[in-house]
Amino acid sequence: MIMAVKQQFTSFEDAIAHSDTPILVDFYATWCGPCQMMSKILEQVNIDLNGQLRVMKIDTDKYPEIASTHHIQALPTLVLFKGGKPVDRIEGVLQAAQLIDRIGQFL
């Protein structure tokens, strides 16, 4: 099973800007029930898409400035970045198949 890789970057914007692969950012909080559900769904999406996408998780409690910069109002919020720019935004929980359908056009 492929898990999301924990990496350190000098900045979030730096990580987004220099990725050749689209990045799906999961803005979440540890206390958020739907966020926990989304975590398992994202693992499945990561397996199904087999390297076409990177998943990055941002804990909004630890990085409130990043959440604020990207206007995160609800949790979970997924933002798909391609070429360093946000191209799609999903608030709430979607099943893996729905999520793949939704972001597939950007891959």
Asked if residue 94 belongs to a domain, the reply is yes
Number of domains in the chain: 1
Q: Which domain holds residue 78?
A: 19-104
pLDDT tens digit sequence for 26-82: 999 999 999 999 999 999 999 999 889 999 999 999 999 999 999 999 999 999 999
Asked if residue 70 belongs to a domain, the reply is yes
Asked if residue 95 belongs to a domain, the reply is yes
Give the CATH number for residue 100. Answer: 3.40.30.10
> Token pair 């391609």 is at which residue?
82
Residues marked active site are found at 32, 35
pLDDT tens digit sequence for 68-97: 999 999 999 999 999 999 999 999 999 999
Asked if residue 98 belongs to a domain, the reply is yes
Asked if residue 89 belongs to a domain, the reply is yes
Helix axes 96-104, 33-49, angle to 10 degrees: 60
Asked if residue 66 belongs to a domain, the reply is yes
> Token pair 């898990």 is at which residue?
3
Asked if residue 6 belongs to a domain, the reply is no
